[in-house]
Structure 1
Amino acid sequence: MSAKPFRSGFIGLAGLPNAGKSTLLNRIAGGKLAAVSPKPQTTRVTTSAFREKEDYQAVFVDMPGFLEPKYKLQEAMLGMVEKTLRDGTDIICLVAEPALPGEKEKLLADRIKRSGKPVFLAINKTDKLRSDAQADQTAGEYKKLLPLAGVFKISALSGKGVEPLVSAMVALLPEHEAYFPKGQWTDKWERFFAEEHVREQIFLQYEQEIPYSCAVAVETFRENPGGKDYIRVVIYVERDTQKAIIIGKGGAAIKNLGQEARKGLEKFLDRPIHLELFVKVLPGWRNDEQALKRFGYVAEKPKGKQ
């Protein structure tokens, strides 16, 4: 009996903002990798999670939500989506809510169709439905828009239906050697996750334009075996009024922000840290190409994909 061929490749998670792509990535990873909040556009860059067994290594790539850009940051986010769909995936998983596709959904479906990749439809949030009828209707409408290799009704939050979806997609990966060393579970560094934990808390704790006006950058990440790692993070905003809101009266808001971000990051790193937060004003950074590059908001092909 011949051994099963080894498969390896990239599976892109595409969808509109708040479809649940990042929650699905975290579910597949078995841990917290991507920032998640109830607000749209929480994801700004691609994040990858790896799944591996004896006969495969699958790289799941979470993309920013598909949107119509209003400033250069959003243009960069859309660029990441389009480049990943075109060059960075072998299979695409379209994550959609159980509703009829609107104009934005149809536009995304067309972009995905033109990629020529196998497409799986993951109808998410089905745990909130009273019956399957709405999900079935959603699937029927998407089948009119693009060819589908499979349709799965899932709940990324509870995990319902996720494993059958993963198995079906892995089965279509190309025969290829592993792209990454065995045992690795993401392509990001710890500095990235420090930034993401702070940014996630900004999305959770602040309202209106504040989360969308903030960029987060680690200035210092100093490991201290046997003690506490020292992490210095700078939050960049566009106006002095935004800086005042982030800090809060008597520093209460930024203190709470730091406490919650530290808790999450310590759990992720599995070691104690000392986290310091600072706020600086960088006017118009969302429309400044140099600032966007500095913060990592550029359309790059996922690591490992040639």
Structure 2
Amino acid sequence: MSDHDQDFDALQPAELPHEDFRCGAVALLGRPNVGKSTLLNAMIGFRLSIVSPRPQTTRHRILGIATNEAGQILYVDTPGLHRGAKRAMNRSLNRAARSAISEVDLAVQVIESGRWTDEDQALYDALAEQKIPRLLAINKVDLAKDKSAMLPFVAGLMEQHSFDEVYYVSALKEKGLKELEQGILKRLPVRAPMYGEDEITDRSERFLAAEMVREQLMLRLDQELPYATTVEIEQFKDREDGVAEIHAVIWVERDGQKAIVIGNGGQQLKAIGSAARRKMEQLFERKIYLRLWVKVREGWVDDETMLKKFGYTD
């Protein structure tokens, strides 16, 4: 893991490990809550992208790197595309997802087993504009009650849509992933690796720390409140005693939301901090001292300047 965010297109490649070694960027695309982040984590064998049962958990493009003897796959996890995006935040997420399509060598559209929605169709139409290979990954096949209906569903889908290949996977159960990986690799260009074999992301520890706090907000807060929150890391430093000291601010839109995040006697905020700290210690492999504050900024979700401040960019 590198300490600074990088643009993989700007890196100078190393020597080609062997004549058939392949390397390229692959966008994981789909509507909200189809399991893209779970799939990313499973494909790289590391819990990098945060996961919750809620739609729109992923708000940023996240690069996950998987390297083996055959090649290096740069998986780009994107926010889910959703229609009717009325708020600035939603428009920003859609722009991030759409811009990823133009920057990769291959796209994997992820859908739920047995479902093809208007949002799936909108993403397919956006993909059709790009001259890159397109794979279809049907996720959550383990949850399909009537598996005999799967083949007619896919046959009907392929009559009206053009994908290079279809893969049946369960990201949660880690089924069908090897076949998907092989299908990706054979369509990537022969190219030297962009990253070291031990690197798993281009994102900084600072970014990942904010994501782990936000994950707890998504898991622990009810109804719409998680969508009115974001996390900003104000300080991240390694002390002489080997402990990483992190100061984070949880931003909300209203005073009432602040009270809910803090909870009775500060218990909710304490639980959020404790769970996030444990996740950080596992990922960063050192002791963490985490301090959290909750602050109010009205309308930050619709404020383009604040969105850029909090790292929401195309």
TM over 0.5: yes
Q: TM-score, normalised by structure 1?
A: 0.93
Deviations 1:141-184 (A, max 9, x none): 43234321111111000100011101111111012222223421
Q: Which one of 77, 82, 89 corresponds to residue 73 of structure 1?
A: 89
Q: For 1:232, what is the secondary structure of its paired residue? A: strand
- Give the ranges of 4+ consecutive aligned residues of structure 1 lying more than 6 Å apart after TM superposition: none
**AA in 2 matched with 1:282:** R
Match in the other structure for 1:62: 77
What is the alpha-carbon distance in structure 1 between the residues aligned to residue 238 and residue 63 of structure 2?
24
Within 5 Å, give how 1:125-274 maps onto structure 2.
125-224=140-239, 226-274=241-289
Distance 1:121-1:283 versus aligned 2 partners, 3 A rule: same
**AA in 1 matched with 2:87:** Y
Aligned: 1:14 with 2:2: no
Aligned: 1:287 with 2:309: no
**AA in 2 matched with 1:163:** K
What is the alpha-carbon distance in structure 2 between the residues aligned to residue 217 and residue 84 of structure 1?
24
CA RMSD of aligned residues (A): 1.4
Identity of aligned residues (%): 36
What is the alpha-carbon distance in structure 2 between the residues aligned to residue 206 and residue 294 of structure 1?
24
Distance 1:82-1:250 versus aligned 2 partners, 3 A rule: same
**AA in 2 matched with 1:273:** I
Match in the other structure for 1:304: none
- The Cα of 1:134 is off from its aligned counterpart by 3.3
Aligned: 1:275 with 2:290: yes
**AA in 2 matched with 1:60:** Y
Count of matched residue positions in the alignment of Structure 1 and Structure 2? 296
Deviations 1:216-242 (A, max 9, x none): 011000113543210000000111111
Q: For 2:129, what is the secondary structure of its paired residue? A: helix
What is the alpha-carbon distance in structure 1 between the residues aligned to residue 174 and residue 152 of structure 2?
22
What is the alpha-carbon distance in structure 2 between the residues aligned to residue 192 and residue 174 of structure 1?
30
Match in the other structure for 1:124: 139
- The Cα of 1:131 is off from its aligned counterpart by 4.5
- The Cα of 1:209 is off from its aligned counterpart by 1.7
Q: For 1:217, what is the secondary structure of its paired residue? A: strand
- The Cα of 1:207 is off from its aligned counterpart by 1.1
- Unmatched tracts of structure 1, length 5 or more: 300-306
Deviations 1:99-138 (A, max 9, x none): 2312221111111122222111111111112443333234
Q: For 1:115, what is the secondary structure of its paired residue? A: coil
Match in the other structure for 1:52: 67
Distance 1:154-1:55 versus aligned 2 partners, 3 A rule: closer
Distance 1:137-1:206 versus aligned 2 partners, 3 A rule: farther
What is the alpha-carbon distance in structure 2 between the residues aligned to residue 197 and residue 134 of structure 1?
38
Match in the other structure for 1:302: none
Distance 1:110-1:278 versus aligned 2 partners, 3 A rule: same
Is this contact kept in 2: 1:123–1:135, CA < 8 A?
Answer: no
